[in-house]
Chains A and B, each alone.
Chain A
Amino acid sequence: MREDSLNQPEFTFGQKLLNLHWFLVFLICMTAAIGVAMLYSAANGSFQPWASRHMVRFGVGLVVMITIALIDVRIWLRYAYVFYGLSLVLLILVEIMGYVGMGAQRWLDLGYFNLQPSELMKIALVLALARYFHGLSLEDVERPTRLIMPLLMVFTPAGLVLRQPDLGTALMLILASGGIFFVAGVRIWQFALVIVSGLIAAPVGWQFLHEYQKARIMTFLNPEADPLGAGYHIIQSKIALGSGGMTGKGYMQGTQGHLNFLPEMQTDFIFTMLAEEFGLVGGLGLLAMYGLLLVYGVAIATRSYSQFGRLVAMGVTVTFFLYVFINIAMVMGLIPVVGVPLPLISYGGTAMMTLLIGFGLLIGVWVHRDVVIGRRGGDEV
């Protein structure tokens, strides 16, 4: 099964390039192309202002992705904690001198672009946790004391992000980490313990909230009770989806989107627009593409020889899945609106960069699937 890997653990640059998971790259490009088409429609048949910039960003991101894929996974392992530390520092910086945009402190203004450290953290956390669990034996994983450190690694940035407040990203950080914990072999009863204690803590915490805070959370959980305020977006989104029907209204024919009833259609609600114009068929088609990407992600993870590679691949896949699920569930009114974009399709540079870096790591794991990495990060077994 692993003869080849034992024989030639190292590749040349050309071999690596040939070994890139080109079908995955193709799928990613296709998804981004759908994004360009939808943004073209969102601008009423114009490349300005979204579609063209989306293309440029994707192009840049694609180069970054392939570059990352070609870098040896051991380098990522070596610098995993450094990245994590840097990201954490940036997060704290945002907290201190954050730039106020979209009603929440999320960006660092770096002159020619805005850096969103919480996005960086999504990747850094995956790397850091993968490195941590890579270094643990199965017996270690079963020891609860060994879990204190990674839990701190998760909840410190999650807490900071929550303060911004960015519930969506905090949720994604926690859930993606949960996924890594799970596949790393943490006992299921320990998960159950955390979930149960969380459920118990919630009503207790509720008591300490002010009335207006409770009201805000209630609207958040049940937006349709406030049809002109918070509920407006989700109601219009459901109307758009529902009116799309089986086959949709046709490309660029979506009334809800083009007549501005649909809010934020170029970002969070772009799936709604797609489903309005292409109907159930279009929505399922996109889900199928995402599904294919996920299947390949899991396949790459299980195929990796190193635990670090497996965990990174799975962490990226879970993060990607969370983007897809939270966004679509949100626009269909299944969960409250938390502001998570649709991967590769929603307009927005930071999320795209995060995802392409993630995919770069995923493909990198594929390219270096047979690299043997010791517990301490060396070549030793």
Chain B
Amino acid sequence: MNRDAERHKLFNRRCVMLVGGKAVLVSALIGRMYYLQVLESERYKTLAEQNRINLRLLPPPRGRVIDRFGVPLANNQQNYRVLLIPEDTRDVAATLDSLDEIISVGPGERRRILRDVKRNRSFVPVTLRENLDWGEVARIEVNAPDLPGVMIDVGQSRDYPHADQLAHVLGYVAAVSPKDQTGDPLLELPGFRVGKAGLEKIHDLNLRGRGGSSQVEVNAYGRVIRELRRKEGEPGAEISLTIDMGLQKMASQRMADESAAAVVLDVHNGDVLAMVSTPSFDPNLFNTGLSAVQWKGLVNNPRAPLINKTIAGRYSPGSTFKMCVLLAALEKGVITPSSRIFCTGFLELGDARFHCWKKHGHGLVDAHQATVQSCDVFFYDIAKRTGIERIAAMARRLGLGAQLGIDLPGEQAGLVPTPKWKRGALDAPWHQGETLIAGIGQGYMLTTPLQMAVMTARIANGGFAVKPHLTRAITKDGVAKSKEADKFDSLDLPLRHLEIVRAAMNDVVNSPRGTAYRSRIKEPEFAMAGKTGTVQVRRISKAERKKGVRKNEDLPWKVRDHALFVGFAPADNPRYAVSVVVEHGGGGSKVAAPIARDILAEAQRRGSAGRPVKTAGQRAPADTHRTVPKERDG
């Protein structure tokens, strides 16, 4: 009993010690709880929110592009796609078999689908097929009972209704590549498209808009439980172009068979009314992705369909440059309008002979006649007396030799050669003969069709330094921001000099002795003025001459002459300027001038530069008249 009481006492002592130990352990628990729930609470609250809340981006609709009259040029099209939610179907393979009977599913596609199904959680929709046509959508809808878990979804894809007719101006959109990543989370969305060329590229940020976001609550498996907050995005801006699609369409159809470029400008404000480069491509193809064969076909085509020749093609201006030489000579005073030069068919400089295109010469010609008949000897002579520096300076004033800053990517500067340039680039001295060659727009001189059109516009508008542009207005949130009317600097060209040049250009087309007389516009109010140009790509060699090759047409296409024409209309009160380059087309008067005539006639009949016509109904008559000039002249 005594021992037992002792045992009880020891037990109680030990109990107290044990309880003490437990108390220490419980304090540790409380301390830990305090640390987690009070001291570190904010950090864990953030982590819990990160767990729970997922930010979903809502892609904004891409902005439309319309022409100056409101004709849609780039739209967003409903893109029907068929999705499969794996958890809603009992047997994915069987569902695919049923679907295969409706829209055939290839083995490669099937593998891709099964892989996607395996990779994602069972409630994540897997895309089975995109860009379904109406028939396929209807058939799937009808067979819905046999297709558990299959649903039709509407997305948006870019659509260019005019396909290849405006491809170089609009450019195209395509999937985002790693180098496009700028940190905009929209770019990381699967299936998102960005502008890769043309206006789609230049205005990509405007057209893209701003993505909205939806905060959703998700569970640990990523399933969306509910939407917590939604921030609507900002749809892309609508861009209105200076292009007149009617004119553009006509011109691109007119030039469809050639490898050619044409630009139509409003001479007063620099609006680009048409910009055609042929052959072209269908930008819709880039949206869905090109096949390797299609891509190779585009890249390896010798006529370079992917290149916008109006801004990236560089051509010798040839005789179309003679206006520039004439203006430089008049400004320096080396000739007067009445000064005459005798053309014997060639001009001798040292040991070299510089031939006129007319073998036996033009005889006595003044500036007017020399331009009308495109006498080379006259321009050799005045170029020699004016000097290359003055000619180059005039060329630059007229818009050659430098980028014009048009709102398109990939514009080329061209080249206006000077002795200084030659020393720098070729490390060789300038020869006077090269000045003579420059006098007829050949040699090192390179211009783009856009520059030629700008040069013509500056001559036609009375010597104002117009600059070309394509963007007319950007409409964001319903507010249109139009391009401010430019105040163009005067080029300080005396009006009488310009009138001499314009009168000569008028007679090039409208006088029977002019090189483009056959391509004149017969309605007097639409009469055009212009200048032809033919640029040798390669001389016909002596060997070829012996074999009987006399004419350009006998040569293979790649080495035939380029045909050029620049012009404006109406001749007496210019509004439109045009430049046409037909690669390897032959003579400017024969090939390029008729195209320019048709384009300028169409522009005037349509009133391309006029006030925008609001409705399609009012535009329709202009379209139906389009074929008239061809019949009349043909």
Contacts and interface: CB of A to CB of B under 8 A. Distances in A.
B480 interface: no
Nearest to A313: B15
A332 B10 contact: no
Interface in B1-33: 1, 3-4, 6-8, 10-12, 14-15, 17-19, 22, 25-26, 28-30, 32-33
Contacts of A245: 37-38, 41, 45
A256 B217 CA distance: 11
Nearest to A232: B220
Interface residues of B, number: 42
Interface stretch (B47-55, B190-198, B353-361, B622-630): B47-55
A185 B11 CA distance: 7
Contacts of B22: 294, 321, 325
A97 interface: no
Nearest 7 A/B pairs, CB to CB? A242-B44, A243-B48, A260-B220, A259-B219, A280-B37, A183-B14, A245-B41
B220 A307 contact: no
B40 interface: yes
Contacts of A243: 41, 44-45, 47-49
A259 B19 contact: no
Contacts, number: 135
B10 A138 contact: yes
B134 interface: no
B543 interface: no
A259 B52 contact: yes
Contact of B51 (A256, A291, A321): A256
B537 interface: no
Contact of A287 (B30, B37, B48, B225): B30
Contacts of B45: 242-243, 245
Contacts of B36: 238, 241-242, 332
B33 A241 contact: yes
A138 B6 contact: yes
Given A255-B52, A259-B52, A332-B36, A307 B12 contact: no
Contacts of A321: 22
B33 A332 contact: yes
Interface in B204-230: 217-221, 225
Contacts of A239: 44, 47-48, 51
A126 to B, nearest CB: 15
B38 A284 contact: no
Interface string A216-248: 000000000000000000001011111111100
B90 interface: no
A138 B37 contact: no
A349 interface: no
Contacts of A298: 15, 18-19
Contact of B37 (A242, A291, A325): A242
Interface size class of A (residues with CB under 8 A): 35 or more
Given A255-B51, A328-B29, A185 B7 contact: yes
B43 interface: yes
Contact of A137 (B3, B8, B12, B43): B3
B11 A241 contact: no
Interface in A47-75: none
**Which of A184, A280, A291 has the largest number of chain B CB atoms within 10 A?**
A280
19 contacts: A183-B11, A242-B36, A242-B37, A242-B48, A243-B47, A245-B38, A245-B45, A258-B219, A261-B51, A287-B26, A287-B29, A294-B19, A298-B18, A301-B15, A307-B4, A307-B7, A314-B18, A333-B32, A334-B29
A221 B25 CA distance: 19
B18 A183 contact: yes
A179 B21 CA distance: 11
Contact of A244 (B26, B37, B52): B37
Q: Which one of B4, B10, B11, B43 has the highest number of Cβ atoms from chain A below 10 Å of its Cβ?
A: B11
Nearest to A255: B52
Contacts of B48: 239-240, 242-243, 255-256, 261
Contacts of A261: 48, 51-52, 219-220
Nearest to A185: B10
Contact of A334 (B12, B17, B28): B28
Contact of B11 (A137, A280, A302, A328): A302
Given A241-B37, A242-B40, A307 B219 contact: no
B29 A241 contact: no
B34 interface: yes
Contact of A241 (B17, B44, B219): B44
The secondary-structure label for the interface of chain B is helix
Interface of B: 1, 3-4, 6-8, 10-12, 14-15, 17-19, 22, 25-26, 28-30, 32-34, 36-38, 40-41, 43-45, 47-49, 51-52, 217-221, 225
A322 B41 CA distance: 27
Contacts of A179: 18
Given A137-B3, A239-B51, A280-B38, A325 B18 contact: no
Contacts of B51: 236, 239, 255-256, 259, 261
Contacts of B37: 241-242, 244-246, 275, 279-280, 283
B54 to A, nearest CB: 11
A83 to B, nearest CB: 23
The secondary structure that dominates the A interface is helix
A260 B221 contact: yes
Given A185-B10, A259-B51, 8 more contacts: A184-B11, A242-B44, A242-B48, A245-B38, A260-B221, A287-B26, A329-B25, A332-B33
Given A185-B10, A256-B51, A261-B220, A242 B29 contact: no
Contacts of B3: 137-138
Contacts of A138: 3, 6-7, 10
A194 interface: no
B630 to A, nearest CB: 71
A223 to B, nearest CB: 16
Nearest to B28: A334
A242 B4 CA distance: 50
Given A137-B3, A280-B34, A381-B1, A185 B40 contact: no
A34 B466 CA distance: 84
A51 B4 CA distance: 47
Contacts of A242: 36-37, 40-41, 43-45, 47-48
A349 to B, nearest CB: 26
A244 B42 CA distance: 10
Nearest to B23: A291
B11 A310 contact: yes
B30 A302 contact: no
Contacts of B41: 242-246
A313 to B, nearest CB: 10
Interface string A305-318: 00100100010001
A287 B22 CA distance: 12
A284 B225 contact: no
Contacts of B217: 255, 259
Given A239-B44, A283-B33, A259 B225 contact: yes
Nearest to A241: B36
A182 B221 CA distance: 48
Contact of A280 (B6, B25, B33): B33
A112 to B, nearest CB: 33
Contacts of B49: 243
Interface string A238-272: 11111111100000000110111100000000000
A238 B32 CA distance: 11
Nearest to A182: B14
A329 B28 CA distance: 9
Contacts of B8: 307, 310
A16 to B, nearest CB: 23
A180 to B, nearest CB: 10
Contacts of B10: 138, 185
Nearest to A310: B11
Contact of A185 (B14, B26, B43): B14
B347 to A, nearest CB: 85
